[in-house]
């Protein structure tokens, strides 16, 4: 009876031993694999570093050999050229023929000097050009000889006989008989010739520095055309009575001066 009770216990004990031994063997196998992997990896890294070192060393040697061979070949070519020039000079002296020997060293020095010489801009000529570009303001003369009957009134009001009300006046009216010749007050270019609904036949001349002159209430403007350059004192039209806003006034020339789009008092500028 006692032998039968011990057998299950012994079998269980043996089974546990087998499990423990199997686990120990498995752990040792895993450790062996890890150690082998680490050692092999280190070996590969060392082999890679050695290969890189040999490659860099070989490249350095190759570059040095190429540089030395190139320098020696250049030196030989220069020496050979100098010897050929000497031989050419000797032969030309003996035969009496004319030959030209080229001094390559002087040419190289000259080229280097030309490349390294800085180019200084001529500031004086640039300053002179700027001064020449700036033109003085034009001087204005009377387009007709006559009394000023209506003054400039941009910021004040004057009474209009035609409109029967107080209005502004962006120019001056200069009394003159019909068909009186109207002259350009200053040199410029004919900008426009138009029939203005308020001031009648009108000629606009464009001058330098943003100036314009306006000649209105003309009888005709057939003496000039748009885009034409006119001189100071050149005939541009004749006095008429075509200005509907000033038709009740005596015969006159309506004259304006404009600077950069703003009307200014012509009586302060005309001479």
Model pLDDT for residues 7-32, shown as the tens digit of each residue: 666 777 778 888 888 888 888 888 88
What average pLDDT does this structure show over 36-53? 78
Quickly state the pLDDT bin for 260 (edges 50, 70, 90): very high
pTM of the model: 0.53
Instruction: Tell me what the mean pLDDT of segment 233-254 comes to.
Output: 95
- How crowded is residue 263: how many other Cβ atoms within 10 Å of its Cβ? 17
Rounded to 5 degrees, φ, ψ at 36 are -60, -40
- Residue 104: pLDDT band by 50, 70, 90 thresholds? very low
pLDDT per position as a tens digit, 188-204: 999 999 999 999 999 99
CATH 3.40.50.300 fits 148-268, yes or no: no
Q: What torsion do the CA atoms of 132, 135, 235, 255 make, to the nearest 10 degrees?
A: 170
Closest to 249 in 3D by CA, of 180, 148, 143, 155: 148
Confidence at residue 216, expressed as pLDDT on a 0 to 100 scale: 98
Collapsing DSSP to helix, strand or coil, 187 comes out as coil
What are the sequence ranges of the domains in the chain?
A: 1-119, 148-268
Residues above pLDDT 70, as percent of the chain: 66
pLDDT band at 39 (very low <50, low <70, confident <90, very high): confident
Which residues pair with residue 140 across a beta bridge?
270
Mean pLDDT of 147-176: 94
> Residue 102 above 50 pLDDT?
no
Contact 271, 231 (CB under 8 A): no
Q: Give the range among 123-127, 151-155, 222-226, 258-262 with minimum mean pLDDT.
A: 123-127
Q: What is the mean pLDDT of residues 48-58?
A: 65
- Per-residue pLDDT of 76-95, as tens digits, reads 444 555 555 544 455 444 44
Q: Is the pLDDT of residue 256 over 50?
A: yes
User: What is the average pLDDT across 111-133?
Assistant: 56
Q: Is the pLDDT of residue 146 over 60?
A: yes
pLDDT-derived band at 114 (thresholds 50, 70, 90) equals low
């Amino acid at each position: 009876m006692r032998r039968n009770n011990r057998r299950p216990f012994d079998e269980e004990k043996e089974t546990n031993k087998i499990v423990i031994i199997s686990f120990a063997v498995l752990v040792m196998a895993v450790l062996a694999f890890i150690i082998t992997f680490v050692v092999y990896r280190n070996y590969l890294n060392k082999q890679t570093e050695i290969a890189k070192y040999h490659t860099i060393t070989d490249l350095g040697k190759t570059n040095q050999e190429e540089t030395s061979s190139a320098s020696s070949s250049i030196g030989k070519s220069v020496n050979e050229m100098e010897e050929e020039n000497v031989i050419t000079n000797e032969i030309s002296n003996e035969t009496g023929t004319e030959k030209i020997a080229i001094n390559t060293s002087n040419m190289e020095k000259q080229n280097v000097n030309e490349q390294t010489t800085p180019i200084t801009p001529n500031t004086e000529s640039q300053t002179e050009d700027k001064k020449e570009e700036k033109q003085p303001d034009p001087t204005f003369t009377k387009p007709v000889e006559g009394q000023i009957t209506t003054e400039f009134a941009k910021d004040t009001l004057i009474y209009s006989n035609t409109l029967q009300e107080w209005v502004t006046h962006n120019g001056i009216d200069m009394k003159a008989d019909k068909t009186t010749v109207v002259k350009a007050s200053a040199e410029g270019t004919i900008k426009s010739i138009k029939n203005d609904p308020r001031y009648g036949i009108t000629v606009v001349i464009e001058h330098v520095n943003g100036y314009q002159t306006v000649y209105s209430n003309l009888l005709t403007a057939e003496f000039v055309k748009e885009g034409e350059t006119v001189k100071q004192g050149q005939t541009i039209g004749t006095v008429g009575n075509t200005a509907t806003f000033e038709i009740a006034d005596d015969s006159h020339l309506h004259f304006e001066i404009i600077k950069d789009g703003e009307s200014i008092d012509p009586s302060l500028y005309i001479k």
